[in-house]
Amino acid sequence: MAGRDGLTGSPSETTPALLELVAEQARRRRPAALLEQRRRDRYVEPSALDLRLAHRLDGLALAAAAEFEGLLLSPVAPLGACSVVAPTSQDRTLSTVRGTEVVSDPTNVLAIECATRHRAGERGPIRLCTIHQVVRAQPLPPGPGFSRHFRLFALGTSGPARGADAFEVEAFAAHLAVYQRLFDACAELGAHLPGRRIVVHAGADAATLGDRVAEALAAAAPTAELRRAGPAGAYYHGVRALYGAHSARTGDFVPLVDIGRFEWVARLTSNRKLRYVASGCGLQLIPVLFGAGAQQV
């Protein structure tokens, strides 16, 4: 039922009123307003990353993930794709008036795709990857390379649980292997990623899984330094691993890759036996911080 303002209720009730409101706002605008918004609004400015360089990075990433099915996602996802299943605010995404939101995290969208396939009878493991120009409304981290929209390479693996956490352990190792191949391949672009490090986060409630994941990641990347850290945080289901390198530009360790276990597919399907491991890598940080056409973004 619509509220007193006429804008609460189901999307089918609110969409016509919101569309009319936006149409009226657009009718009032003048050409000069478009240029003014382009000047001040970081959501609409082009990326500082050269398109040809971005295309080459995409190719290297997809080649490194040959065992994953590549999906070209829609620019929008179902409204609440992140906030409904994860402890995050809807304010970090750009919501539309048509019951959708601009994709802010493709790992959540890959979870929806995995859940859809499981519901259709696919048992798994399901291995998906995508590259997406995501938009986020959260505050920007300090330093070069961060912008309102950026290139994100994401992997998602889903399937039934197995004994001794075998599904999660193998998925973590497979994801890390993809990013290790990507880091090596970036030398073709003049980007070198030295001083690689893996940081495994796991609290007392996930200590055994953390140990198993750490052992598997150390075997997958034997030349990388392995560190252990505290709890993964509320966003993750027990275990999180970061993978990165030291930037010659800043002198700092940069965690380019974030891998975690999540309950999203289990929640979407109401099947607690289904597991989901997802990861993401900020592709545009590689040329900015590691030497391939470095520039301020």
% of the chain at pLDDT higher than 90: 70
Res. 59: pLDDT tops 80: yes
pLDDT at 120: 96
Q: Give helix then strand counts, H and E, for the chain.
A: 8, 10
- Chain-centroid distance of CA 287 in Å reads 18
Per-residue pLDDT of 138-181, as tens digits, reads 776 666 556 778 899 999 999 999 999 999 999 999 999 999 99
What are the structural domains of the chain?
1-41 (no CATH), 48-290 (3.30.930.10)
Q: From CA 39, how far away is CA 34, in angstroms rounded?
A: 9
Q: From CA 203, how far away is CA 210, in angstroms rounded?
A: 8
Q: Confidence band (pLDDT; 50, 70, 90) for 294? A: very low
CA dihedral 29, 30, 32, 33 (to 10 degrees): 0
Per-residue pLDDT of 119-145, as tens digits, reads 999 988 999 999 999 998 877 666 655
Structure pTM? 0.90
Q: From CA 106, how far away is CA 279, in angstroms rounded?
A: 9
SS3 state at 32: helix
Convert 87-120 to b/e letters by CB count within 10 Å (16 or more is b): ebeeebbbbebebbbbbbbbbbbbbbbbbebbee
DSSP codes joined into one string, 50-67: -HHHHHHHHHHHHHHTTT
Mean pLDDT of the chain: 90
Pairwise pLDDT comparison (201 vs 294), residue with the higher score: 201
Per-residue pLDDT of 95-115, as tens digits, reads 888 889 999 999 999 999 999
Per-residue pLDDT of 45-57, as tens digits, reads 888 889 999 999 9
Contact 40/33 with Cβ under 8 angstroms? no
Helical spans, DSSP H, in the chain: 11-28, 31-40, 51-64, 106-119, 166-185, 207-220, 264-269, 285-290
Contact 85/267 with Cβ under 8 angstroms? yes
